[in-house]
Amino acid sequence: MPLVVQLAPANRHDVKTLLPLVVNIPAVAGKPGRPKQKPDALIGDKAFDCEALRQLLRWLGIEPILPAKGDDEHGLGVLRWFVERTLSWFHQFRRLRIRWDRSPSVHQAFLSLAAAVICFRVWNYAS
């Protein structure tokens, strides 16, 4: 389930977009009691391989599951399919798959709306 979505330019490196994304994650609900403020772990690909980013995530209490750039056998296939599945859910919305809107704010609005629809569908399916 997508926790937060963010639009970023294509020419911006992934490492620079991760910190604002992590800061905007809402409290993670689950077990009764005080909700967690951040998730336990963050799964990423080789583009996020940066030691400073790993240290920052650990300082925030998030375990980084990020492969090194030189590793060919990183073993994230078992976990990475969650990310790929969620991206395919977003691609079911034609307006997001083929970007018609020039304005970033309009595209971000439709991205947020799609995330809400995905969360609603997942929640209804689980109930």
Cα torsion angle, 125, 76, 13, 53, sign: positive
Element (H, E) at 42: strand 41-43
Average pLDDT (109-124) is 89
For 98, counting Cβ atoms within 10 Å of its Cβ (0-12 exposed, 13-18 middle, 19+ buried), the class is exposed
Domains located in the chain, CATH noted:
14-126 (3.30.420)
Q: What percent of the chain has pLDDT over 90?
A: 9
pLDDT band of residue 55 (cuts 50, 70, 90) is very high
Integer Cα distance of 113 and 100 in angstroms: 16
Residue 75: per-residue pLDDT: 59
Read off the pTM.
Answer: 0.71
Provide the CB-side half-sphere exposure for 71 (13 A, CA). Answer: 11
